[in-house]
Amino acid sequence: MTATDTRRTESSVQTIPAVPSAVEHAELRERFAPVLATIAEGAAERDRERRLPHAEVRALAEAGFTAVTVPTAHGGAGAGVETLFRLLLDLGEADSNLPQLLRAHFAFVNDILIGVEDGDTDTWLTAIAEGAVFGNASHERSTATVGDLATTVTPDGDGFRLSGEKHYSTGSIFADWINVSARSPDGRRARVTIAADDPGVELRDDWDGFGQVLTGSGSTLLREVPVPASRVRVLEGRGEGATTTQTAFLQLVLLASLVGAGRAALREAVGFVRSRTRVYSQGSGSTAATDPLVQQVVGRLSADVASAQDSVLAAARALGDAQASLGGPRAQELTDAAELRTVQAQITTVKDVLHVTTELFEVGGASATSRGRGLDRHWRNVRTLASHNPVIYQQRAIGDRLLNGTDLLYFWSTGEKKPTTGGNG
């Protein structure tokens, strides 16, 4: 196994062309418009039928969307961080399941770009440019303590064997390759890359949440999966307490999915109002669209969506600044600023978009609840996305930081916490 050194120099970070984000986004948005339109057209029906978007993921890969941040030298578009999140907002509006299920994929590419992934990264980048998709299997529901893992990778001849059970394996059911978090024989964390069709790998679509039902966030069973030594890396220095831009990156993908759902809710609410010909006796217009009360609701929704989107893009710009600084004297300062801005964005966007996806039903009475329209999916999806890395803990973390100078937490994990002992006697 090889150890990943988290100390980086300027030369270790892949350089991204300094193209203004709005210009770069406009060009790429036009390129991807046809596939995004097709994805949006079938989103409500897929949700209603729980039809996993295998074809849609493959269409994105074939169009080059999944390689948008891969450097041009390796066949990608070489887009910057803010451009990526602008595109993920567009994808989230088409179907909020898609950015989340590709979260691990884009995070792996970003790991390579910022120089914290070792091994033959050129081969991985070329494969991604050719359409390879990566998934994730990191979370567990075992009785292990917080931060520990029950999944193990153990030596076996010239290679290793991987065994364990993972849950919330978002995106893996759509992936060609899966990055698995495991415990090495000496108790350290390791990243193990396996092919989705390797012997001993079983992927299950058993996610039972009421929202984001098409992310493939099910379980992964690993039974003595054979792994070459080249695909096992010990993650030195990347455990609890390590400062990294990846925490903000991962959170921002969730926020892009969430705000994308809010944009879709607003768009569909406007379309619904425009299509209505029946009005209420106590209404103030000849149509719903001319009723000042309905106009007021739509105006409020649009302001909430705009505010949420601006927060996400501001955090994305801060993240871009932080990643550009890696290896330099301001890396710690800018990484911390990006993390703080991202957590603040999470707190405000969750509130704003939950309001949007609830309030939209004020524009149309009972007919707005038609299952055929599927407007409820936006609230279900946003409520589910908002439950990740709960806001109540993030609010407290910021308060503690501002009041007491406490460091932000750059490591997320769940597990059982051992009871503390002590007292007065």
Which residues of 85-185 form beta strands (DSSP E)? 134-137, 152-156, 159-166, 177-183
What mean pLDDT is predicted for residues 334-363?
A: 97
Provide the pLDDT for residue 415: 57
Burial level of 83, CB count in 10 A (0-12/13-18/19+)? buried
pLDDT surpasses 90 at 282? no
**pTM score:** 0.91
Provide the pLDDT for residue 333: 96
Provide the pLDDT for residue 237: 54
2-6, 51-55, 385-389: least confidently modelled range: 2-6
Residue at 100: amino acid letter? Q
Four-CA torsion 95, 29, 102, 80, nearest 10 degrees:
-150
pLDDT surpasses 70 at 3? no
Residue with the larger pLDDT of the pair 234 and 323: 323
DSSP state of 179: E
Provide the pLDDT for residue 285: 74
pLDDT surpasses 70 at 89? yes
Please list, in sequence order, all residues whose beta carbon lies within 8 angstroms of the beta carbon of residue 188, skipping any fewer than 6 positions away.
234, 235, 236
User: To the nearest whole percent, how much of the chain has pLDDT over 90?
Assistant: 78
Q: How far apart are CA 336 and CA 6, in angstroms?
A: 16
What mean pLDDT is predicted for residues 56-61?
A: 98
Directed axis angle between helix 391-404 and helix 331-359, to 10°? 140
What mean pLDDT is predicted for residues 329-339?
A: 96
DSSP state of 409: P
What mean pLDDT is predicted for residues 81-88?
A: 97
pLDDT surpasses 50 at 423? no
- Residue closest to 225 by CA, chosen among 186, 190, 198: 198
Burial level of 420, CB count in 10 A (0-12/13-18/19+)? exposed
Provide the pLDDT for residue 278: 73
Please list, in sequence order, all residues whose beta carbon lies within 8 angstroms of the beta carbon of residue 318, skipping any fewer than 6 positions away.
248, 334, 337, 338, 341, 342
Provide the pLDDT for residue 297: 95
Is-contact 223 200, C-beta < 8 A? yes
In this structure, whether the domain defined by 6-133 belongs to CATH 1.10.540.10 is answered with yes
Give CA 116 to chain center in angstroms: 19
Is-contact 174 57, C-beta < 8 A? yes
DSSP state of 195: E
Q: Where are the domains of the chain?
A: 6-133, 152-234, 246-404
In this structure, whether the domain defined by 152-234 belongs to CATH 2.40.110.10 is answered with yes
User: Binning pLDDT at 50, 70 and 90, where does residue 9 land?
Assistant: very low
Q: What is the pLDDT of residues 130-166, one digit of tens each?
A: 999 999 999 888 655 666 789 999 999 999 999 999 9
User: Binning pLDDT at 50, 70 and 90, where does residue 241 land?
Assistant: low
pLDDT surpasses 90 at 14? no
For the domain bounded by 246-404, which CATH number is listed?
A: 1.20.140.10
Provide the pLDDT for residue 1: 45
Q: What is the pLDDT of residues 311-330, one digit of tens each?
A: 999 999 999 999 999 999 99
Provide the pLDDT for residue 425: 35
pLDDT surpasses 50 at 400? yes
Q: Which long-range contacts (CB under 8 A, 24 or more apart) does 361-366 make?
A: 362/294, 362/297, 363/269, 363/272, 363/273, 363/288, 363/294, 363/297, 363/298, 364/269, 364/272, 364/273, 364/276, 364/288, 365/280
Please list, in sequence order, all residues whose beta carbon lies within 8 angstroms of the beta carbon of residue 289, skipping any fewer than 6 positions away.
273, 274, 276, 295
Is-contact 183 194, C-beta < 8 A? no
Provide the pLDDT for residue 354: 98
Provide the pLDDT for residue 418: 59
Provide the pLDDT for residue 13: 47
Burial level of 335, CB count in 10 A (0-12/13-18/19+)? buried
Provide the pLDDT for residue 16: 44
Average pLDDT, rounded, for the chain: 90
pLDDT surpasses 90 at 96? yes
Residue at 406: amino acid letter? T
Q: What is the pLDDT of residues 102-130, one digit of tens each?
A: 999 999 999 999 998 877 899 999 999 99
Residue with the larger pLDDT of the pair 142 and 171: 171
User: In terms of DSSP bridges, do strands 201-203 and 232-234 run parallel, antiparallel, or are they unpaired?
Assistant: unpaired
